[in-house]
Amino acid sequence: MTPPPSAPASGSSGLSTRYRLRHSTAYDYGEDVPISHHLLHLTARPHPRQRIRRSLLTIDPAPAVRTERVDYFGNTVTYVAVQEPHRTFSVIAESEVEVFDPPVLAPDDSPAWEHVRDSLRGLTGPDDGAEITQYCFDSALVAASPELLDYVRGSFTPGRPAVAAAINLMNRINHEFAFDPTATTVATPLAAVMRNRRGVCQDFAHIAVGCVRAIGLPARYVSGYLRTLPPPGQPRLVGADVSHAWASVWCGATAGWLDICPTNACIANRDFITIAWGRDYDDVSPARGVLLGGAGHGLTVSVDVEPLED
């Protein structure tokens, strides 16, 4: 499917990078699966800093049922049902997107975070009030806790501008939590990540989201890809890229949503390609499904982010 081009918002810097994306997911089952159902978040979403030029999902075996819709959070979701015996199932998501740099924000370019929090009471209507304030509340994987509240108070100090506080929180998570792919799984509770101070980008995004919500501000979980650069003089390896996750913090009507990446201690720029956002990973997992039989499975995932031009 190729959607109509979407235009960047006037608030973007104007600098952009075009990418060709390829995300391959393949399941290998231990025995025949008579029927399977899958829900996919693999189609890049347009937003004020991202234009979608082309998008295509190739699914094998060809599903008997395939539907596409926009979910509650504005993400494209594809549902498929395979109704013939199969030992493998694969999805290849290909797209071309153009990503724009965000407007430059100084750390003090926002009101105090308390003012932003209190101003939420004045938001009304589905296009601002509900769309923003829905991200204040607990979700399936991110629930309020005394530990999160205690941690966030080190960044959201009295009177501090919301942007400066969010950047400080991002940097603290980056410095105080160790990146360790062996430390967690998708089922690891947030309390364990807080206690052990180890995890991956998904965990760090959840920590940031939970901390911000703990002091009454909206924060959402963002899934996508990060452009990775090879070492000087080395070729870019096809398939070496991975999925990525970061957090987005509401910093008031003027500053808007600020995308922070605790994993890399940076503001999301045109190196970050957005696929979907929601309350946490549970809302936007790339692929989930229900199947009959199978006797276990193997999973292979390959991601390639190819910049076309700057």
Q: How confident is the model at residue 270 (pLDDT cuts 50, 70, 90)?
A: very high
Tokens coding 234: 């080395």
- Backbone φ, ψ for residue 117 (5° rounding): -60, -45
Structure confidence at residue 112 (pLDDT): 97
More confident of the two residues 187 and 57: 57
pLDDT at 7: 41
* pLDDT of the residue at 118: 95
- 246: its two tokens: 């970061």
Question: What's the pLDDT at 64?
Answer: 97
The pLDDT tens digits for 178-217 are 999 999 998 899 999 999 999 999 999 999 999 999 999 9
CA triple 255-257-262, angle to 5 deg: 115
Rounded Cα–Cα distance for residues 79 and 44 (Å): 16
pLDDT of residue 176: 98
pLDDT band for position 10 (50/70/90)? very low
d(CA 156, CA 139): 22
pLDDT at 126 over 90: no
Q: Which two tokens stand for residue 129?
A: 């009030």
What is the reported pLDDT for 12? 56
Average pLDDT of the segment spanning 113-135: 83
pLDDT recorded at residue 128: 64
For the segment 171-180, the average pLDDT, to the nearest whole number, is 97
Out of 3-7, 85-89, 209-213, 215-219, least confident range: 3-7
Lowest mean pLDDT among 94-103, 228-237, 274-283: 228-237
Helices 162-176, 201-214: crossing angle, 10 deg rounding: 140
pLDDT surpassing 50 at residue 2: no
Task: Classify residue 94 by its DSSP letter.
Answer: E
Helix (H, G, I), strand (E, B) or coil at 224: strand
Chain centre to alpha carbon of residue 220: 8
Q: Give the pLDDT band of residue 1 (cuts 50, 70, 90).
A: very low
Q: What is the pLDDT of residue 227?
A: 87
The mean pLDDT value for 60-81 works out to 96
Q: What percent of the chain has pLDDT over 70?
A: 91
Residue 41 has a pLDDT of 97
Q: What is the arrangement of strands in the sheet containing 76-82, beginning at the earlier edge strand?
A: 65-70, 76-82, 36-40, 287-291
Instruction: With cut-offs at 50, 70 and 90, classify the pLDDT of residue 3.
Output: very low
d(CA 90, CA 287): 11
